[in-house]
Amino acid sequence: MPDLRHVGEAPMKVKIFDMVLQNVPAGKSPATHLEDQINGFLKTHPNLQVIASHMNTLVVPVGPSSLPGSEPNQPSVIIFTTLFFQ
């Protein structure tokens, strides 16, 4: 991974994309859904230079329901992708 502290003269910027796996449209892969988000951002910022990227996953386990008598909350998987750019 490149040393992100001293890349060029411009200040480093960060854009975080998140995706809840259960909310991905039916018939669309998570990779394609995320790729569409990133490509949409890059199309609106054609002159930026991507320095690095990072992906992380958060798994939120089943928790108790917030309302008595309702079903327990479902587990969630959230995928984060971070772009570091100038």
Yes or no: say if 37 and 15 are a contact pair by the CB < 8 Å rule. Answer: no
CA distance 72 to 63: 6
pLDDT at 58: 92
- In this prediction the pTM is 0.70
In a domain? residue 2: no
- pLDDT tens per residue, range 60-74: 887 766 666 666 677
In a domain? residue 57: yes
Give the count of domains, the chain.
1
In a domain? residue 32: yes
In a domain? residue 3: no
Q: How many Å is the Cα radius of gyration of the chain?
A: 17
In a domain? residue 35: yes
In a domain? residue 18: yes
- pLDDT tens per residue, range 36-56: 999 999 999 999 999 999 999
Domain range for 19 is 10-61
Largest Cα–Cα separation, the chain? 58
In a domain? residue 81: no
pLDDT at 79 over 70: yes
